[in-house]
Structure 1
Amino acid sequence: MDELAAQAHALASSANGLDPTAFPSLRRLENDLVAATARLVSGAPSTVGAVTSGGTESCLLAVLAAREGRPDVAEPSMVLPSTVHAAFHKAARLFRVRPVVVPVDPVTFRADPDAMAAAIDDTTVLVVASAPSYAHGVIDPVAPVAAAAAARGVRMHVDACIGGWVLPYFRRLGTPVPEFGFGVEGVTSVSVDLHKYAYCPKGVSVLLHADAGLRRGHYFASADWPGYTMLNSTIQSTRSGGPLAAAWAVVQHLGDDGYLELARQTLAAVTAVADGIRSIDGLRLLAEPDSTLIALTADDDSFDLFTVADEMRVRGWYVQPQFAHGSSPVNLHLTVTPANRGGEEGFLADLAASVAAARETGPVTVDENVAAFVAALDPDALTGERFEGLLTAAGLGGGAGLPDRMAGINALLGAATPALRERLLREFLGMLYRPD
């Protein structure tokens, strides 16, 4: 599939999706991808969409369309579960839509429909749910949340960037996946990434709207200058036709039967990994996985998960550490795909060995004085030079990238406030991107 996608990409990479009349083949490819995506999430004949560069752009456009659709609201807001993808906070900052963050159920980590409904007011232009949420891999209760939004005349977006292409196939395989797309009354837009479980190259995502009127707000046109009338369906202007062609080729090649078989393999792998984690002393699933994402956490305090992540890296595996947030403790995040299918036995053996090694090492601790100092820092009051000193002290200085062992650094970052962590990592990013 990689070779097929690369060949298709090369054929269309020089074509420009800026003007749909200049390269009608690209328009055909896009319409085909939108139609295929809509079929999976119960789209109707009125369903329309746009192909974007990725899930973040799809989410940004959903927020922009909702804001532009309510010009009567001077200071618009959107209601978000606390587990929503950070792309919506990015949209809030870019488009000046105030985020109203609602805590999720502290045990299941799913959105609380009653709390979401109570948060909707006259300024709300959008309500969002996830299918699934990234951090915990669980599906929010879309139907009651959408009903609450519809009752107030508010748009409802479902972020199915991860699950939109694979969950319908899980349902066909007998997994009790609740309806999350346009089959739910009140859902007005859905985002689905094709570069995830449609196995297309980066970056291709689809943003769907229930009808063309809902999509209109993220279109951009500008005729008030001496050049051509600029017309954009997404945030981008110039768009290479390469990703479109590669995605179209992969979707056509795999077909419905191919995707069903890949879903079968993925589901078997998820089940095996989840069952294996349950059998490892000291670990537990943070939430029962609804899709292809697994979050695991420690069941006792005799070892440190950040050390487990380091030990897994030594053994050739990458597991993603996630910091504590609200009722969600420090955990490790896994993404299961057919690409790593077949390695479950080895992965679980190495995970058990990594836990044993971490238990022998003992928990990572941050000196109390250092933790207090970090907790008291005001990120807005510190200069760039001071931050460089902090990064160097934390082992992240010099622009050389990350060290092999991250447990100590992650423990220190975990002691920082989210605002300080954000500022530290922005400064770290700035240090990485400097020409020699």
Structure 2
Amino acid sequence: MTALPDRGVPAEQVLAELGALRGRDLPTHGGRLFAYVYDAAVPGLDQLTASAYALAAHVNGLDPTAFPSLLAMENDLVAAAAQVTSGAEAAAGVVGNVTSGGTESLLLAVKAARDAHPDLATPRLVVPASAHAAFAKAAQYLRVALDVVEIDPATLLPDPAAMAAAITADTVLVACSAPAYPYGVIDPVAEIAAVAADAGVRCHVDACFGGWLLPYLRRLGRPIPPFGFELPGVTSVSVDLHKYAYAPKGVSVLLHRDASLRRPQYFGFAGWPGYPLLNATVASTRSGGPVAGAWATLRHLGDDGYLRLAERTWSAVTGLAAAVSTVDGLRLLAEPQTSVVVFTCTDPDPYVLADQLAARGWHTQPQLPYPPLPASIHLSVTAAVADQVAEFGPALHDAVAAARAAPIQVPPELAAAVADLDPATLGPETMAGLAAAAGFGPDGLPESMAIVNTLLATLPPERRAALLVEFLSLLQTPAHRPA
């Protein structure tokens, strides 16, 4: 099959082929995938957002004067995100932009902070170790030095005093999370924002993961501390609408306290013969489809709808946590505070358990060890999970028993080959051989991830990343195509 046949293919056949390609994907609906997708389980929502997406798919966000509908929808989404995260009073004067996702929002927050200090030869960014890896990506892309503050292994939180100590004269931004993705705990935002303000440094709150959900959990009685612009030291906030606002991929919002703080985020160039290029985000041309889908989602669900979805999500969280707590050998790494259930295993091996759960239709996200913290299994819980909780407990017990009966066995020669890897000489042929030895099929996908994760856990982070980059490069070649 080719994307460009000699003769065009009928529409019905094209759609059938697309359906076949999707056949091996993980299920995006049904409440059994605990990563990557966010399912509200609201009847008719998919159809609504698909229709809204189609209405604006060919609208171009490059020029808001040409397409005022997109400008109106983006401004509506910014206003809604500011009000939800910070409250109506604190949201006054807040400005922002819609981006393609949390990574772009964080990248732009770092860019705005960096470009506000053109005098610094080496601008620096201070983050907790639990901050999203997108900050490291932003630092690499933008050539900003990254200063990482370790978290307390008991509380999983950064110490505000340690964050303050990491601030130097070259620091342009301090970041914290509400909540941090790995463990679902909320950083001490008020204290961190205060030390940043005392140092005269911007403070960004990464609320991409839970910023839309936390205020609704607070309204349901959960002890959620403030994390938005109601805190004087907070200068910017990011919140993804394609997570707990249940909008289509990819829509995030980056908010700034005022327009002066946002200004360095923009790019403008008129020094060429063509049209003056003005961009608020990384991309120039942007489809209006995701924005329209998000706008339709918010309009359809409404504030009351989001409160109900938050209630269902929290019910699912407590049910899953209770199920984990009943199994010997499993331990919650943190009492659930938001929408995350994360646990570790003394017995069985967590990677084997993740495989056994997947074999039973429950797709989790294994997290590699971060010493002194152990390997863990992460569950991002959505409203759709509420209807599945009763089935999860028995499936977990069954998966644990199966994992104990079939522990992981890594071939010694494979373990030795990985241990001796030199990232500088790692190429496609070597990577292809390692993938085959690890059980990857001809389509490039493994039958089991337990061996892969076990091998990755033995490597230091830099070598682990190099191996994964080479593997991704192996997958992303035109000669390679999954069956």
Say yes or no: TM over 0.5: yes
1:323 to 362, 368, 385: 368
Unaligned regions of 5+ residues in structure 1, if any? none
Q: 2:353 matched to which residue of 1?
A: 308
In the TM superposition, what is the alpha-carbon distance from 1:365 to its structure 2 partner?
4.8
Supply the distance in 2 between the matched residues of 1:314 and 1:283 (Cα, whole angstroms). 19
1:104 to 141, 144, 151: 151
1:307·1:358 contact (CA, 8 Å) conserved in 2?
yes
Secondary structure at 2:172's aligned position in 1? strand
2:432 to 368, 372, 388: 388
In the TM superposition, what is the alpha-carbon distance from 1:395 to its structure 2 partner?
2.9
1:45 to 92, 96, 105: 92
The alignment status of 1:407 with 2:450, answered yes or no, reads yes
1:379·1:419 contact (CA, 8 Å) conserved in 2?
no
In the TM superposition, what is the alpha-carbon distance from 1:46 to its structure 2 partner?
1.4
Relative to the length of structure 1, the TM-score reads 0.96
The alignment status of 1:431 with 2:474, answered yes or no, reads yes
Supply the distance in 2 between the matched residues of 1:303 and 1:171 (Cα, whole angstroms). 36
Deviations 1:46-79 (A, max 9, x none): 1000000000100000000000011121100100
Supply the distance in 1 between the matched residues of 2:330 and 2:307 (Cα, whole angstroms). 31
In the TM superposition, what is the alpha-carbon distance from 1:367 to its structure 2 partner?
6.2
Q: 1:197 matched to which residue of 2?
A: 244
1:391·1:424 contact (CA, 8 Å) conserved in 2?
no
Q: 1:144 matched to which residue of 2?
A: 191
Q: Which amino acid aligns with 1:166?
A: L
User: For residues 20-419 of structure 1, what are the structure 2 equivalents within 5 Å?
Assistant: 20-42=64-86, 43-298=90-345, 300=346, 302-362=347-407, 364-366=408-410, 371=415, 374-396=418-440, 398=442, 400-419=443-462
Secondary structure at 1:341's aligned position in 2? helix
Q: Which amino acid aligns with 1:311?
A: Q
Secondary structure at 2:386's aligned position in 1? coil
In the TM superposition, what is the alpha-carbon distance from 1:45 to its structure 2 partner?
1.6
In the TM superposition, what is the alpha-carbon distance from 1:366 to its structure 2 partner?
4.3
Runs of 4+ in 1 over 6 A off after TM superposition: none
Q: 2:17 matched to which residue of 1?
A: none
Supply the distance in 2 between the matched residues of 1:370 and 1:433 (Cα, whole angstroms). 24
Deviations 1:109-139 (A, max 9, x none): 1121111110000110000101111111111
1:167·1:177 contact (CA, 8 Å) conserved in 2?
yes
Secondary structure at 2:385's aligned position in 1? coil
Supply the distance in 2 between the matched residues of 1:359 and 1:306 (Cα, whole angstroms). 11
In the TM superposition, what is the alpha-carbon distance from 1:380 to its structure 2 partner?
2.6
In the TM superposition, what is the alpha-carbon distance from 1:293 to its structure 2 partner?
1.3
Q: Which amino acid aligns with 2:327?
A: I
Aligned residue pairs total 432
2:209·2:240 contact (CA, 8 Å) conserved in 1?
yes
Change (3 A) 1:433 1:373: closer
Q: Which amino acid aligns with 1:10?
A: A
Supply the distance in 1 between the matched residues of 2:237 and 2:424 (Cα, whole angstroms). 36
Secondary structure at 1:90's aligned position in 2? helix
Supply the distance in 2 between the matched residues of 1:397 and 1:92 (Cα, whole angstroms). 36
Change (3 A) 1:185 1:387: same
Supply the distance in 2 between the matched residues of 1:190 and 1:239 (Cα, whole angstroms). 22
The alignment status of 1:14 with 2:61, answered yes or no, reads no
2:323·2:392 contact (CA, 8 Å) conserved in 1?
no
In the TM superposition, what is the alpha-carbon distance from 1:414 to its structure 2 partner?
1.2
Change (3 A) 1:82 1:368: farther
In the TM superposition, what is the alpha-carbon distance from 1:279 to its structure 2 partner?
1.2
1:41·1:183 contact (CA, 8 Å) conserved in 2?
no
Supply the distance in 2 between the matched residues of 1:180 and 1:237 (Cα, whole angstroms). 31
Secondary structure at 1:288's aligned position in 2? coil
In the TM superposition, what is the alpha-carbon distance from 1:317 to its structure 2 partner?
0.9
1:161·1:191 contact (CA, 8 Å) conserved in 2?
yes
Supply the distance in 2 between the matched residues of 1:347 and 1:96 (Cα, whole angstroms). 45
Q: Which amino acid aligns with 1:308?
A: L
In the TM superposition, what is the alpha-carbon distance from 1:341 to its structure 2 partner?
1.7
In the TM superposition, what is the alpha-carbon distance from 1:371 to its structure 2 partner?
4.4
Supply the distance in 1 between the matched residues of 2:85 and 2:109 (Cα, whole angstroms). 16
In the TM superposition, what is the alpha-carbon distance from 1:164 to its structure 2 partner?
0.7
Q: Which amino acid aligns with 1:424?
A: L
Secondary structure at 1:221's aligned position in 2? strand
Unaligned regions of 5+ residues in structure 2, if any? 1-44
Q: Which amino acid aligns with 1:321?
A: P
